[in-house]
Structures are given as C-alpha cells and as structure tokens.
Structure 1
Amino acid sequence: MLTTRRVDAYHALTVVAPGIAERFRPGHFVSVAVGGSRSSMLTRRSFSVHDVRSDYGGTVELVFTVRGPGTEWLAERRARDTLDLVGPLGRPFPVPRDPVSVVLVGFEYGSAVLFPLADTLLARSCRVDFVLGGGSADRVFGAMRARRIAETTTLSTRDGSLGLRGEVTDVLASVITDTRADVVYACGPMEVMRAVTSVAIKFDIPVQVVAEEAMACGIGICMTCVLPVIGDDGVTRMVRACVDGPVFRGERVRFEDVGTIPFDAQGAPGGGARHVS
C-alpha cells in the first residue's frame, strides 16, 4: 500500500497494483480481503475504483466509509502495509462512441466511481455536467474536482449545508433540460438510483446505474448480490451484480422488487414474490 488519507467523511487508500491499473476501465471494482491472515472475517469487501495512475508502475485509489469491522480495519491500514486485492472485476460503463451531452449523478462516496468515467468522456469530446449530493457537506464527495473538469456542477445536501437543500433528483430534471443531456450515469444507494432512473425515463434518455448491492465474493459464487433485471427479451432474471454488473441500464432494474424474487422471474417458484437474504 502506498498512502492512506482522509477526505472529509471518507477514507482514501492508494495501492500499488500494476496489473489492476493496466486492465482497469471506468466502472470496474476490486474486492479486498480484510482483517489480516488470522481474522475471522472471511468475506471480502468490494469497492469501486476512484482513480488509476501510472505512478510506481500503476496505482489504484479506493474511497470508502467505515460501516463495520471490515472497513474499520481497512481504515487503520498505513503506508507499507500489504493488502490482498482482486480485480478489476465486473462490467465497466458503456461509453458513447460519438460526442454527446452527459450528466453524471453521484450520491456521497458513490460519486467516486464517476471521475474516471468523466475523464474518458472528456477525452471523447463529450460535454460533462455533474450533480453531486450527500446527507451533509462533508459527505458530498469530489465537488472541487468536479468543478475543475465539468461544464457545470450542481450540489445538493439533505440538510442544506452545501448547495441546494434536498435530493440530487430535486435538481436533476432542470440540469437535464439546461444541458440537453443525451444520457445519465449514476452511482449511489439503490433508492437514489431508483429515483434517478425515474427522472431519466420521464425525459426518455438512457440511464446507466451502478448497483450498490452487497458483494461478499465479487466473482459470482456467493449469490449475495442478486437482483431482478429485465433482459433484452423482456424476461426478468435474477442476475448477479458482481459479474453481470455492477453497471446496468436503469430502466431494466426492477428497483421495487430488489430483495425479492418476483413471481414472474425466470425460474421463480409460484405463489408471489419471495424475499432473499
């Protein structure tokens, strides 16, 4: 590991990982073993990649918040500590071939994954506008960087301590209208992604969302991150966010049924939706 630092309410770790850096594409994530070699914490933790640089042969930066013993252990790591990373994992963001107008919507540290995407879009001469939000000012991630690289950056907080008071979706419609957006990309909690998708559907523009489902393995084995997604053929399937995502077309995700197996999903038992753990 190279460095660890605080970024407002979050922690940022930079790790020397040339193999991951070389193959990385915006939207990929990594899984990290936590607790050390003698730990009882067997499951790994998955994190989106915030930044990749060529320093030291290739470095990867992760941004996270402390939620439990695993991330608490990770926050206590220091320079020269060794971390066990697997990646890059998942399917990256699809990127338009031609220059288009793009709105990137991020909530709290979910915004981290959008910055390498912004760099890629800007390299393709796309217009990029940000909408960033959080519960409070210290939980809005990346506002200064967004202002440096984007045409416009609109901020919102639930407590009104930074930008406009409210949700990111309270301002999204006006940003889409003002920028004549062609597509929306978003990352954050599932309820925020559901609301962002609803706004994009009203404007009849595509929306790509990152599903923040719990991923215990990150490679499709444990089945903890399944969610119902409608396929190109109109059939709902229970897919794994880690290998079939984490990026999905928002209008294809059945947000209202996340946490259940809908009765009409392929292979579902009869008798209505069943809850999954």
Structure 2
Amino acid sequence: MSDTPVQTSGTVLTVRQVQDYHALTLVAPAIAERFRPGQFVAVAVGGEHTSRLVRRCFGVHEVKSDYGGTVELVFADTEPGTAWLAGRRSRDRIDLLGPLGRPFRLPRDPVSCLLVGGGPGAAAVFALADALLRRGCQVHFVLGGPSGRQVFGSRMAQRIGDSATVATEDGSVGEQGTVRDVLPRVIEETGADVVYGCGPTDLLRSVTQVAGDFGLPSQVSVEEFLQQTGACGIGVCMTCMLPVHGDDGVTRMIRACADGPVLRGDRVRWGDLGTIPFDALGAPRVLSVSERGSQ
C-alpha cells in the first residue's frame, strides 16, 4: 500500500438520499486501499466535456472491501456541480483523485474519544470511529444541526458508539440547542481524553474552544472550508489558505488541502479565516510615512 494519491475512474454503485443529503458509493479499489481517516477525495464534475474545471472536495464517510474496494461520499446538493453528482446513476463513471491530505492522528493507547460532527461533514467522523474502535478506544458522539433532517448518522452513532448525543436547534431530534450547548456536559460525562471535529467552521471553532477550556487536545477537519473556497484539492490554486500558529509561535499561511485538512484546533486562528493577518510570516506590510518618503 502506498500513501501516494492516485487519479482513477470510479464506477457508481449507488446514489441514495439520506435526509437532506446524498450518499454516493463508488467502486474505487485504488483509493480504498490507500485511505486513512480524515483524508478526502477530489471529484471531477460535469462529465468529460464540461466547462467546470474545478473538482469538488469531499471527506470519506466509509470504505468497504466490497467489489474490491468501495468509497462512500456524503454531500449536500447546493450548486450545479453537486447537482450533477446527485444525478449520477449506477454504472456511471466518475473521475476522482485521492486519497488527499493529512489524516487524523490516532492515539497510541486506548483512550476515551469524543467525535463531534455537523452537517454532511459529520460523515467523516464514522471512518475515524471505525479506526478508533479497532484500537480499543471508547468512542462517544455529539452530532448537531439546525433540524433533524440536517443531522447525519444519528442512528449509526447510537449503534456503534459508547454514547451518542444529538442536538438540533429546532428541537426536532435529540436535545434542543447547539453542539456548543451540550459539549461541556458530554465531555464531563464521558471523561473524554481527546476531541475530534468534522463539519462547519463555526462548529470546529466551538470544538476547539470548549476542548481548550477543559485542557483537552482537539483535531479538526477543515474539509468544509475546502468546499467553500472552491479549492483544487492538490495545493496548486492557493485559494484555501488559512492562518495557523506554528510550534515556534509564528503565524504562517498554510494550504488547507495539502497541509490539512486535519489540523490541531488550537493552532488555527479562527477569527482570521479569510484574511492574511498583519503579523503572519510574509504578510504584506504597510509602509510607514518615513519609509514611503524615502522611496
């Protein structure tokens, strides 16, 4: 098995509706055998002669050995590219590249792990859960969304997890409230040693902040950030840049796709996403009046 990503043609096995999302299962053995939880794939959309040049990046929900190796992706139909994917049928072929990016770092010893997810991005926590369970870890879930139809995987979490907490803003499923509302209590109840997060940026920010309040390490996947920025997935277009603190305390701009998508939550400057902080290494500098006068 190699860590080198491959470009391959995957055959569509099924496309099914799961609440407000679509689950696309592809036969893609070359990617399935290389995949590690937290990595993603970049999918070409629109067909062979499309004008849509930018691929769509998705975290992987599940990898199975069926048919030599299948990969399942979960996504929301929000724009023409994802609408094209949602319209695929069995035996259609799709060009995809992967697995890409840095995976989650797994604990050496069995510990109590809290997995937090929201929206379609929550699908990626289940591949992680499988790896953690095989290592003998306790796995606890917190899943959230505006409504029950926008919470992915609540039944699966209840089936495989040591505990599963669901929070919806409208109270239609589980507890009424947000993930941030329930997270402190769940951390205390589960005795979590580490917190993992997948989903919207606001959720990842909350995961990082609450975990930090309890002195816990957090790892978060910024895969949704890749989708929002229209990133190429391979580190060439430079549209998914975000600021992080390094071990030396210096802020650097990194590529979410190539240097992530899994990052230490406490290293991300969440309040500065979408900007280049003035103190970042290599940031554009505003000249002082004296400096401008000397030019």
| TM-based fold match above 0.5 | yes
Instruction: Give 1:116 shift.
Output: 1.0
1:124 corresponds, among 135, 153, 157, to: 135
Residues in 2 aligned to 1:166 and 1:270: alpha-carbon distance in whole angstroms = 43
Q: In the TM superposition, what are the counterparts of 1:129-148 in structure 2 within 5 Å?
A: 129-148=140-159
* Alpha-carbon distance in structure 1 between the residues aligned to 2:48 and 2:283: 39
Hey, what does 2:121 align to over in structure 1? 110
DSSP 3-state at the match of 1:186: strand
Q: CA deviation at 1:219?
A: 0.4
Alignment of 1:217-256 (within 5 A): 217-256=232-271
Q: Which runs of 5+ in 2 are unaligned?
A: 1-11, 288-295
Letter in 2 for 1:54: S
**Following TM superposition, by how much is the alpha carbon of 1:271 offset from its aligned partner in structure 2, in angstroms?**
3.5
Deviating beyond 4 angstroms after TM superposition, the runs of 4 or more aligned structure 1 residues are none
Secondary structure of the residue aligned to 1:2 is strand
Correspondences of 1:10-21 after superposition (within 5 Å) = 10-21=21-32
> What CA distance in whole angstroms lies between the structure 1 residues aligned with 2:48 and 2:160?
41
Note the C-alpha offset of 1:270: 1.7
Give yes or no for the alignment of 1:51 onto 2:62. yes
Following superposition of structure 1 onto structure 2, how do residues 15-164 of structure 1 map, counting pairs within 5 Å? 15-164=26-175
Aligned to 2:183: 172
Q: Distance in 1 between matches of 2:284 and 2:55?
A: 31
Corresponding residue of 1:275? none
Shift of 1:67: 1.0
Per-residue deviation, residues 120-171 of structure 1 (Å, max 9, x unmatched)? 1111111110000011101100011100111110000111111111111100
Q: What value does the CA root-mean-square deviation take over the aligned residues?
A: 1.0
Partners of 2:116 and 2:122 within 8 A in 1: yes
Residues 42 and 56, structure 2, Cα contact 8 Å, conserved in 1: yes
1:8 to 6, 14, 19: 19
Structure 2 CA distance, aligned partners of 1:63 and 1:271? 44
1:216 CA drift (Å): 2.6
- Deviation of 1:73 after TM superposition, in Å, equals 0.6
- Rounded to whole Å, the distance in 2 between the matches of 1:270 and 1:67 is 38
Identity %: 63
Match of 2:5 in 1: none
Q: Give, in whole Å, the separation in 2 of the partners of 1:105 and 1:224.
A: 26
Is 2:228 the counterpart of 1:213? no
Partners of 2:231 and 2:257 within 8 A in 1: no
Distance in 1 between residues matched to 2:100 and 2:157, nearest whole Å: 25
TM-score if structure 1 supplies the norm length? 0.96
Per-residue deviation, residues 188-237 of structure 1 (Å, max 9, x unmatched): 11111111111001000000011121343100000111100111111111
2: CA distance, partners of 1:150 / 1:251: 26
Determine the C-alpha separation between the residues in 2 that align with 1:9 and 1:67: 11
